[in-house]
C-alpha cells in the first residue's frame, strides 16, 4: 500500500472554484459587517466583545476594510488569485477571528468556532502543506491565547476539531466532482 504524497492535493481548479471563492468572500464580508453591527448597536449577546469592546470593534472594522479591499482585487483576477493571496486572506481571517475571540472572553463566548469555517476553506483553496500550516497556525493561536486559563483541555479539543475539518473538505469536494 502506497502512502499519498502530502502535496498531491492541489487547490480546486474546477469551474466551481471561483464560485466557491465568491461565496467565501461574501461570507467574510457578511460576517465582519454583522459582528460590527451587533456590537455597535448593542444587539450582541453579552459575551460578544465583553472583555475588550474597543479591540473587538477595531478588529471588526479593520476586517471589514480588508474584506472591501480584497473583493475588487479578486474580481480583477477573475476570482482565481494566486495561492499566496489566498493564504494571506485565510491568515487574516484566522488573526481577526482570534482577536475577536480574545476580546470576547476566549472560547467561552463561542466566537472561536468561526475558525472552523476558515480551516475548512483552507483545505478547499490551498495545497495540502499550506492547508496543514493553516491548521497549525489556528491551533497554535487558539492554544496560546488560552494557555493562561485553567481550562487547557478545550483549546486542545479545538486542535483536534480543526484537524478533522481539514480532513473532510477535500474528500467531500472530490467525491462531488467525480460523481458529476
**Which cell numbers hold the place of 161?**
476539531
Determine contact, residues 103/58, Cβ cutoff 8 Å.
no
Instruction: State whether residue 4 is helix, strand or coil.
Output: coil
The stretches of 48-152 forming alpha helices (DSSP H) are 53-76, 83-103, 115-125, 128-145
Average pLDDT over residues 159-164: 63
Non-local CB neighbours of 102 within 8 Å, separated by 6+ positions: 51, 52, 55, 145
Average pLDDT over residues 7-35: 77
Query: Which residue, 148, 65, 68, 63, is CA-closest to 111?
Result: 63
- HSE at residue 175, side-chain half, CA atoms within 13 A, is 4
Measured in residues, the chain has a length of 180
Q: What is the C-alpha to C-alpha distance for residues 101 and 54, in angstroms, rounded to an integer?
A: 13
In the structure, what pLDDT confidence band is assigned to residue 157 with cuts at 50, 70 and 90?
low
Output the pTM of the full model.
Answer: 0.75
Domain residue ranges in the chain: 16-179
Q: What is the pLDDT of residues 44-98, one digit of tens each?
A: 777 788 788 899 999 999 999 999 999 999 999 999 899 999 999 999 999 999 9
Q: What is the C-alpha to C-alpha distance for residues 111 and 14, in angstroms, rounded to an integer?
A: 32
* CA dihedral over 26, 179, 177, 118, signed as positive or negative: positive
Q: Please return the burial class of 38, using the count of CB atoms within 10 Å of its CB with bins 0-12, 13-18 and 19+.
A: middle
Between the two ends of the chain, the Cα-to-Cα distance in Å is: 28
Amino acid at each position: 500500500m502506497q502512502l499519498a504524497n502530502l502535496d498531491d492535493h492541489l487547490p480546486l481548479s474546477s469551474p466551481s472554484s471561483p464560485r466557491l471563492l465568491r461565496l467565501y468572500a461574501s461570507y467574510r464580508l457578511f460576517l465582519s459587517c454583522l459582528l460590527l453591527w451587533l456590537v455597535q448597536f448593542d444587539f450582541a449577546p453579552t459575551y460578544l466583545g465583553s472583555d475588550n469592546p474597543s479591540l473587538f470593534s477595531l478588529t471588526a472594522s479593520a476586517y471589514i476594510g480588508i474584506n472591501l479591499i480584497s473583493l475588487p482585487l479578486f474580481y480583477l483576477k477573475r476570482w482565481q488569485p494566486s495561492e499566496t493571496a489566498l493564504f494571506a486572506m485565510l491568515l487574516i481571517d484566522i488573526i481577526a477571528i482570534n482577536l475577536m475571540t480574545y476580546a470576547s472572553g476566549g472560547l467561552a463566548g463561542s466566537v472561536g468556532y468561526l475558525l472552523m469555517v476558515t480551516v475548512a476553506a483552507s483545505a478547499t483553496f490551498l495545497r495540502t502543506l499550506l492547508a496543514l500550516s493553516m491548521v497549525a497556525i489556528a491551533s497554535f493561536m487558539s492554544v496560546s491565547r488560552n494557555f493562561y486559563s485553567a481550562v487547557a483541555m478545550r483549546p486542545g479539543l479545538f486542535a483536534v476539531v480543526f484537524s478533522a475539518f481539514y480532513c473532510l473538505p477535500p474528500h467531500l469536494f472530490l467525491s462531488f466532482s467525480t460523481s458529476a
